[in-house]
Amino acid sequence: AGHTTLIAGGTVVNAEGFVRADVLVRGERIVGIGVEQAWDADETIDATGKYILPGGIDVHTHLEYPIDGFTTRTADDFATGSVAAAFGGTTTFIDFVKKRPDASLFDTFVERRSIAESKSIVDFGLHAIVPPLVQQPDVHDDLVRLFTEQGVSSWKFFMAYPGTQMVEDDELLAGMDLALKLGAFPMVHAENGHMVNRAAQQLLDEGKTAEIHHVDAHGHSQEAEAVHRAIVLAAEVGTPLYVVHVSSEQAAAEIAAARSEGLPVWGETCPQYLVTALEDYQELGERAAGYICSPPIRERANQAALWKYLGADGLSTLATDHAAFCMEQPEDLPPQKLRSPGYFPKTPNGVPGLEDRMMVAWEAGVVGGALDLCRFVEITAARPAKLFGMYPNKGTISVGADADIVVWDPEADHTITAAGGHSRTDYNLYEGMRVSGLPVTVMSRGRTLILDRELQEVARTTRGRYLARGAAQLF
Ligand code: URP
Ligand code: ZN
Ligand code: ZN
Ligand code: ZN
């Protein structure tokens, strides 16, 4: 039973290899992969000359996400964010739950899950952000419940932002101990928050308050020190570790060195660190606010090493850290990027990229020669699915897997623009970039959300699902 769709004439690409084959979908799942089968389907999608890729997985997004002590929030909600994701070929994202000051972590999760369920057109998961004082009984008990009852199998620790989110080493160790005991996967935002604050204060004391000085406060050593320390602490505890948004060559080198010693450590990087550089915004004055994120977008000379590590599995995943803010202030949103022009400490941190990730990685990576086809699928879908407990339902075109499928045109001519995108933000870091790889048709658990670049009615009438996830699969 179930509606059947045949995706015919394309080349199926997985992390392990690629082959010319048709794909048969019944209901929510892939039920056949083969050539010259006498398959008869309710509907046929012609994929001649196209690649058939597992739906992209972005394990690092911040949709309708409160920041700066809940004084503002990111511009995309789960509706606009998930539509942007789908148009970019991403059919699964994992966002975060940050404890509200006036509610428990568990209750904050329940509320956020239900908001996302009511709006997201694609499947999604939620990581827990572990608040400081992880040893407090309520936080401890909520983490255990989130893991066991809700499949929140990955927990993020902030080594930055002292006074609000930062965990000290004792708290990080306690959190890692608990993660190890349960089988949860610890993630770290690795920047030494004390070093960042000290450097920022020195800059302010010297009157260096302009946007561009954000990058000076967030040095390479701030990041590399925290990455090194997180690796040592994780090894001491005996837990695997995931380092989000690695931006610095030195930080990436720490991860690559740990991996070459056989330690279960993985690093994520993001398109903005691979393709965008300090040189792109250092002359923009207040408008440099659009490029401010933490860790910062660094000098162009830093990029080659990130590409090298990403190609050779020193870095293993590509996510966006999509935390989109608008440059022009919309009436219905709290203060956005230009809330405090000329004063970098108050600029909301974060950049957009959810819709652009796959296209940018294709153009700069696959066409650019740093990634082959299989590696592209590995970093954008397969490895994220494995590490975050979703494989093989997600991250592979295989019989029995969820029918999360992207028909990818490798001979497109598309220009990335903010105006042509689906995020609520009003600018794009890749404005004007011409890309030859484009997701044309996008299926999420058997629902064709986008057909030939057109959003379908089913995207308006149905929703994606919350994914209760399992333990990290380390191989
Ligand atoms: O600048 C960034 N990355 N903002 C989002 C929150 C975080 O630290 O990941
Ligand atoms: Zn400290
Ligand atoms: Zn972060
Ligand atoms: Zn983030």
Single pTM value for the model: 0.98
Q: Is the CB of 268 under 6 A from ligand 1?
A: no
59 with 389: CB under 8 angstroms? no
- In the DSSP assignment, the letter for residue 430 is T
Q: Is the CB of 349 under 6 A from ligand 1?
A: yes
> From the alpha carbon of 160, which atom of ligand 1 is closest?
8
CA 26 to centroid of ligand 3, rounded, Å:
39
CA 456 to centroid of ligand 3, rounded, Å:
34
At residue 137 the predicted structure's pLDDT band, cuts being 50, 70 and 90, is: confident
Q: Is the CB of 74 under 6 A from ligand 1?
A: no
> From the alpha carbon of 67, which atom of ligand 1 is closest?
6
Segment among 127-136, 275-284, 382-391 with least mean pLDDT: 127-136
> Across the chain, what does the average pLDDT equal?
97
Residue 147 three-state SS? helix
pLDDT, position 453: 98
- Given a cut of 90, is residue 1 above it in pLDDT? no
Listed in sequence order, the residues at least 6 apart from 401 whose beta carbon sits closer than 8 Å to its beta carbon are 29, 30, 54, 392, 393, 394
- Given a cut of 80, is residue 135 above it in pLDDT? no
The 10 Å Cβ neighbour count of residue 128 is 26
Largest CA distance in the chain: 74
Nearest-10 Cα torsion for 324, 97, 217, 76: 10
Integer-rounded Cα radius of gyration of the chain = 21
CA 346 to centroid of ligand 3, rounded, Å:
16
Say if strands 4-8 and 43-46 run parallel, antiparallel, or are unpaired.
Answer: parallel
Nearest-10 Cα torsion for 238, 240, 246, 248: 30
> From the alpha carbon of 62, which atom of ligand 1 is closest?
5
pLDDT, position 417: 98
174-225 tens-digit pLDDT: 999 999 999 999 999 999 999 999 999 999 999 999 999 999 999 999 999 9
> From the alpha carbon of 294, which atom of ligand 1 is closest?
1
- Given a cut of 80, is residue 79 above it in pLDDT? yes
Length of the chain in terms of residues written: 475
- Rounded CA-CA distance 328/427 in Å is 9
- Rounded CA-CA distance 384/19 in Å is 22
Residue 93 three-state SS? strand
pLDDT, position 104: 95
Mean pLDDT of the 333-346 span: 97
pLDDT, position 69: 84
CA 245 to centroid of ligand 3, rounded, Å:
7
419 with 433: CB under 8 angstroms? no
Nearest residue CA, atom 9 of ligand 1?
321
Q: What whole-number percentage of the chain has pLDDT above 90? A: 96
CA 172 to centroid of ligand 2, rounded, Å:
11
CA 289 to centroid of ligand 4, rounded, Å:
17
- 72: which 2 tokens? 């503002």
Pocket test for ligand 1, best of 96, 161, 294 (most atoms within 8 A of CB): 294
At residue 305 the predicted structure's pLDDT band, cuts being 50, 70 and 90, is: very high
At residue 133 the predicted structure's pLDDT band, cuts being 50, 70 and 90, is: confident
Q: Is the CB of 62 under 6 A from ligand 1?
A: yes
Nearest residue CA, atom 4 of ligand 1?
350
pLDDT, position 225: 98
Residue 119 three-state SS? helix
**Among 156, 159, 164, CA closest to 195:** 159
pLDDT, position 475: 86
Mean pLDDT of the 146-168 span: 96
Q: Is the CB of 302 under 6 A from ligand 1?
A: no
In the chain, the amino acid numbered 146 is: L
